[in-house]
């Protein structure tokens, strides 16, 4: 059973990385599908990738452009941001 959980986590990590590649190439629809699949398998894998990217961003001083529009909510689940929410945040700045 532990192997199954580890396998799901690894698969979710792979799907998340593939989603980042799809976003980088401009295929948002494919990225959304991959993220949804990863969430169903193991949401903690998404959290892990975001944490790794945030750490890399701090170390390299780069933006997380590939993850733009994906928000890790307080409940630990990912949720895509609405354009309206993003616009409200921009106005608040």
CB-CB contact of 45 with 9 (8 Å)? yes
Look at residue 18 in the predicted model and tell me its pLDDT. 96
Q: How far is CA 83 from CA 9, 62, 63, 71, in A?
A: 30, 23, 19, 12
Look at residue 87 in the predicted model and tell me its pLDDT. 60
Distance between CA atoms of residues 18 and 23, nearest Å: 9
How does strand 70-72 pair with strand 78-80?
antiparallel
Please say if the pLDDT value at position 89 is more than 70: no
E strand or H helix that includes residue 43: helix 43-60
pLDDT tens for 12-64 read 999 999 999 999 999 999 999 999 999 999 999 999 998 988 888 777 765 55
Which of residues 91 and 38 earns the better pLDDT score?
38
Look at residue 91 in the predicted model and tell me its pLDDT. 60
Residue-range domain boundaries for the chain: 2-92
Task: Write down the pTM of the prediction.
Answer: 0.60
Look at residue 61 in the predicted model and tell me its pLDDT. 60
Look at residue 76 in the predicted model and tell me its pLDDT. 46
């Amino acid at each position: 059973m532990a192997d199954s959980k580890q396998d799901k986590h690894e698969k979710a990590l792979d799907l998340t990385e593939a989603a980042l590649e799809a976003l980088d190439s401009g295929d948002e629809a494919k990225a959304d599908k991959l993220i949804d699949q990863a969430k169903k398998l193991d949401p903690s894998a998404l959290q892990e990738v975001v944490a790794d990217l945030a750490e890399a961003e701090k170390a390299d001083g780069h933006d997380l452009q590939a993850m733009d529009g994906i928000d890790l909510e307080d409940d630990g689940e990912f949720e895509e941001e609405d354009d309206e929410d993003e616009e409200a945040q921009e106005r608040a700045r």
